[in-house]
Amino acid sequence: MGEFDVKIGLKNVLQRIEEVCSKKGEGENVKKPLLVAVSKTKPVEMIVDAYSEGQRHFGENYVQELVEKGSNPLILEKCPDIKWHFIGHLQSNKINKVLKVPNLHMVQTVDSEKLANGLDSAWSRLEKSKDGPLEVLVQINTSGEDEKSGVEPEHASALYKHIKEDLPNLKVKGIMTIGKFGHDYSTGPNPDFIALMKCHEQICKEQNLNSNEVDVSMGMSDDFDKAIEVGSTIVRVGSSIFGYRPKKHEVQ
């Protein structure tokens, strides 16, 4: 695992992002995607390496891992401007643990009114809430898989509106999906990406928002270029930057 050169991996991913964006053109509506480096199961030294190359946004899937890395002395010393994204399923009883993480930037996985209300209430009680609302994304289950979290597409706009209008301690920045793994692109575009862009269109239309105001987080190591092609503005890339990642049961 330690053999992988993070700096080369990061450089290659950024280069691929540039190539896809250049193909899309430099039109007024082309927004360069934000790269979130997914560092789950990887040691803090690898995060420091990526940070030293200019990477600032990092994502973690597991609450305890985010808590440990966010408070790690090496990270606090070497990565003062790091911006953490929580990108895993968040249970209501773990809200306070996540929100207290130093340099928490965004929770990408708000999938219910209950969770949104809990985040809003908890954030209001923290000292750092004085710096502004917590940024969040609405997670949508575009694949309809039972094991995937996310609000159903038909309810996404209502949840987005609730956060935007009723929860002053949250700032809803866009939408997110994980989608089904292993899509065969020889059969055509990823249906999960298409479904998320339809949700994006609906939210913008119903709430009178410019398309550039609503971020779209989709695409990972094996398909982030395809995601950017159809409209993703945030990509979550792990193994292409940090190398092979064992499954969760392999690292217990």
Query: Crossing angle for the helix pair 153-166 and 113-124, nearest 10 degrees?
Result: 20
pLDDT, tens digit, for every residue of 175-205?
Answer: 999 988 889 999 999 999 999 999 999 999 9
Alpha-carbon distance of 81 to 105, in angstroms, equals 10
pLDDT band of residue 209 (cuts 50, 70, 90) is very high
Alpha-carbon distance of 60 to 70, in angstroms, equals 10
| Residues of the chain above pLDDT 90, percent | 87
SS3 170: strand
Which domains are delineated in the chain? Answer: 6-21+31-231 (3.20.20.10)
- Residue 157: name the closest of 177, 176, 138, 135 by CA: 138
pLDDT, tens digit, for every residue of 51-66?
Answer: 999 999 999 999 999 9
Residues 6 or more apart from 200 whose CB is under 8 A from it? 174, 175, 211, 214, 216, 231
SS3 143: coil
User: Could you tell me the pTM of the whole model?
Assistant: 0.94
**What 8-state DSSP symbol labels residue 214?**
S
SS3 130: helix
Consecutive H or E run containing 53: none
Q: What average pLDDT does the chain have?
A: 93
| Residues of the chain above pLDDT 70, percent | 93
Residue 246: what pLDDT? 64
Residue 226: what pLDDT? 95
pLDDT band of residue 82 (cuts 50, 70, 90) is very high
The two structure tokens encoding residue 77: 């010393």
